[in-house]
């Protein structure tokens, strides 16, 4: 996982958006319950940025809306 050094500023949603090239609204949407899907482009950008696999970012939660 990408580590922040002591002299680096805190990772904010805005900074994450800037450094990944993703829209701030996309990053913001993923941090709230209103996100209903994730594009592969978004997942790829986050995995590349943090140097992780998708399973380290995503968690499956059973949908009880059936």
Q: Within its chain, how far is the Cα of 55 from the centroid?
A: 12
Position 33 scores a pLDDT of: 78
Position 59 scores a pLDDT of: 85
Position 28 scores a pLDDT of: 93
Q: What is each CA distance from 17 to 3, 46, 62, 65, in whole angstroms?
A: 17, 10, 28, 31
Give domain limits for the chain: 13-56
Identify the sign of the CA torsion 30, 33, 34, 39.
positive
Say what percent of the chain tops pLDDT 90.
55
Q: Residues with Cβ < 8 Å from 11, sequence gap 6 or more? A: 4
């Amino acid at each position: 996982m990408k580590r922040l050094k002591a002299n680096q500023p805190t990772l904010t949603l805005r900074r994450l958006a800037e450094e990944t090239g993703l829209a701030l609204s996309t990053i913001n949407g993923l941090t709230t319950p209103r996100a209903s899907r994730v594009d592969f482009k978004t997942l790829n950008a986050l995995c590349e940025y943090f140097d992780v696999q998708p399973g380290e970012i995503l968690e499956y939660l059973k949908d009880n809306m059936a």
